[in-house]
Amino acid sequence: MTRGKTHGGGFLSTWSDATFRPGALLSRAPSERSRWRPVPFALVVTAAAWSLGALAGGGSLSTALALLIAAPVVALASIYVVAALTHAWLVVVRGRSAGFGETLACVGYSSAPALFGVVPLVGPIVGAVWRLVILTFAITRVHRLSTLRAALAVFVGAAAPVLLALGWRGGFIEAFKVPGGSMAPTLMVGDHMFVNKWVYGPFIPFTDERLFSNLPPRRGDAIVFRFPENERQDFVKRTVALPGDTLEAVNGRVMINGWLAPHCHVGELRHEGRTAELYVEYLDDRAYFTLFDANPDEQTCSTSEECSAGLSCHGGICGVGRGPFKVAPGEVWVMGDNRNNSHDSVHWRGGRGAGVPFRNIKGRTMFIWMSFGPGGGVVEDRLFLDLDGAPEVVGLNADLAPRVDACLRSRPPLSETTPPRGPSPQGSE
């Protein structure tokens, strides 16, 4: 906002002028239009439209708050991109008769109808069309152009960011919200994360199909994928077995080709009103947290005769095993880090188990860009938490940090964290 000689005062009068009398608003000198300059005005409109629209559509308060924070960042980039492309087109066709600041003002004030997107009877489509009409009219007025030439400039300026956004979402990075606790404590309910969709191969534009479908994740990668039993749902789990592997789950621990993945006990973690056992597990070159309701390997053994009734010996520990499961070509098997509270590969198909086809994989987790606690407040120490690196004690019991560091310092060599190769499944090389 600016001080000095201005026309009108508040946000509402500026919004009314921009929505219903854009010609009158933009006919005034820049200093006389409003105390609300075009860029701050557009940021507030976008933030309000996104957050109120989420609530009107039945979204949660945490989603609305996340959008309230994210919207100004997106809007700021969008305003300048649209203004720059529109102005560049005007320069190319020699239709520019005012400076870039005036084009920027047109773009900023034309955001006013975005608020109509929160009204169910009007909706975002009407608001978007109205905005384009206002922008076209504004460009016509400030640059003294014909309506046709102004409309072409608006199309070039407004359509390009939309196409770029669709390509960005479809091919490179996408935002996801963590819906449940199956990946705790790595991912907590209320976390919002970015996912790298390029890491396993490029996507065909505007679809969810990958151009190359033979690039599986690494063991230990946390991935987002379409749930094979209901592909309208997105799940996030950790990859534990690759094509050709034979997988067993022993008390929730990973056993691949008869080899038990090593882990290091961190200690008791107070989590969601209860106490659980926190470990760092090592698989190939990855280290990550796992959580168990109870110690998964209290009783060691060399034969099943040494185990209690109902238990058998697996990889040197007594326990209940699930499997073995053979991983077929073109799929991976996944488990949640919260091992006793995860609906994953070893439980799918009514307990018969199932893998995730490569084509269902959307990408690998990158980092948390926003996190809300149970009360709705922002969990600041989880912001920008790297999900592809070593596990960090964030939002957990502070006294566990030295123990996590000790586990990472005592990490076994790669030769001891890599499972032996299993026989190739039929039809694979």
Condensed to tens digits (0 to 9), the pLDDT of residues 346-365 reads 999 988 999 999 989 989 99
Q: What are phi and psi of 278, to 5 degrees?
A: -100, 135
* Banded model confidence at residue 273, pLDDT cuts 50, 70, 90: confident
Q: Would the pLDDT of 383 be above 90?
A: no
Q: Which residue has the higher pLDDT, 384 or 334?
A: 334
Q: What is the pLDDT of residue 396?
A: 67
C-alpha–C-alpha distance, residues 209 and 205, integer Å: 8
Q: Would the pLDDT of 334 be above 80?
A: yes
- Give me the half-sphere count of Cα atoms (radius 13 Å) on the Cβ side of residue 29: 5
Specify which residues 364 forms β-bridges with: 196, 223
Q: What is the pLDDT of residue 354?
A: 96
Token pair 């499944």 in the structure block, residue: 425
Q: What is the pLDDT of residue 355?
A: 96
Q: What percent of the chain has pLDDT over 90?
A: 33
Q: What is the pLDDT of residue 260?
A: 93
Q: Would the pLDDT of 271 be above 60?
A: yes
Q: What are phi and psi of 222, to 5 degrees?
A: -90, 120
* Banded model confidence at residue 4, pLDDT cuts 50, 70, 90: very low
- Other residues' Cβ atoms within 10 Å of the Cβ of residue 421: 10
What is the distance between the terminal CA atoms of the chain, rounded to a whole angstrom?
66
Query: How far is residue 88 from each of residues 92, 130, 144, 146, 153, measured CA to CA in Å?
Result: 6, 23, 16, 17, 9
Which has the closest alpha carbon to 340: 250, 241, 220, 235?
250
Range 230-254 average pLDDT: 94
Q: Would the pLDDT of 284 be above 90?
A: yes
Q: Would the pLDDT of 175 be above 70?
A: yes
Q: What is the pLDDT of residue 348?
A: 95
Q: What is the pLDDT of residue 161?
A: 59
Range 189-204 average pLDDT: 79
103 CB-near residues (< 8 Å, 6+ apart) = 83, 86, 87, 90, 139, 142, 143
- Other residues' Cβ atoms within 10 Å of the Cβ of residue 267: 14
Specify which residues 269 forms β-bridges with: 276
Which has the closest alpha carbon to 41: 82, 67, 10?
10
Region of 376 (left: φ > 0; alpha: ψ -120 to 50; beta: rest) is left
Decide: 249 and 335 in contact? Cβ < 8 Å.
yes
* Banded model confidence at residue 170, pLDDT cuts 50, 70, 90: low
C-alpha–C-alpha distance, residues 45 and 36, integer Å: 11
How large is the greatest C-alpha to C-alpha distance in the chain, in angstroms? 91
Q: Would the pLDDT of 221 be above 90?
A: yes
Token pair 């922002």 in the structure block, residue: 378
Q: What angle do CA 23, 27, 32 make, to 5 degrees?
A: 120
Range 71-85 average pLDDT: 84
pLDDT digits (tens, 9 = 90+) for 11-38: 888 888 888 888 788 888 888 888 899 9
414 CB-near residues (< 8 Å, 6+ apart) = 284, 285
* Banded model confidence at residue 243, pLDDT cuts 50, 70, 90: very high
Range 226-240 average pLDDT: 94
Q: What is the pLDDT of residue 252?
A: 92
SS3 call for 386: strand
Q: Would the pLDDT of 162 be above 60?
A: no
CATH top class, domain 183-417: mainly beta
Q: What are phi and psi of 23, to 5 degrees?
A: -65, -45
Which has the closest alpha carbon to 278: 300, 293, 260?
293
Q: What is the pLDDT of residue 143?
A: 86
* Banded model confidence at residue 198, pLDDT cuts 50, 70, 90: confident
Cis peptide bond prior to 185, omega within 30° of 0: yes
Q: Which residue has the higher pLDDT, 255 or 394?
A: 255
Decide: 45 and 37 in contact? Cβ < 8 Å.
no
| Amino acid in the structure at residue 291 | L
395 CB-near residues (< 8 Å, 6+ apart) = 185, 188, 379, 381, 382
Decide: 142 and 77 in contact? Cβ < 8 Å.
no
Q: What is the pLDDT of residue 52?
A: 79
pLDDT-wise least confident of 23-37, 123-137, 312-326? 123-137
188 CB-near residues (< 8 Å, 6+ apart) = 178, 181, 371, 379, 382, 395
- Every domain of the chain and the residues it spans: 11-171, 183-417
Q: What is the pLDDT of residue 150?
A: 82
Please give the model's pTM, rounded to 2 decimal places. Answer: 0.63
User: DSSP letters along 16-77, please?
Assistant: HHHHH-HHHHHHS-HHHH-SS-HHHHHHHHHHHHHHHHHHHTT--HHHHHHHHHHHHHHHHH
Decide: 222 and 183 in contact? Cβ < 8 Å.
yes
Q: Which residue has the higher pLDDT, 86 or 335?
A: 335
Which has the closest alpha carbon to 360: 210, 245, 243?
210
Decide: 255 and 266 in contact? Cβ < 8 Å.
no
Decide: 290 and 337 in contact? Cβ < 8 Å.
yes
Look over the chain and give the mean of its residue pLDDT values, rounded to a whole number: 82
Q: Would the pLDDT of 413 be above 60?
A: yes
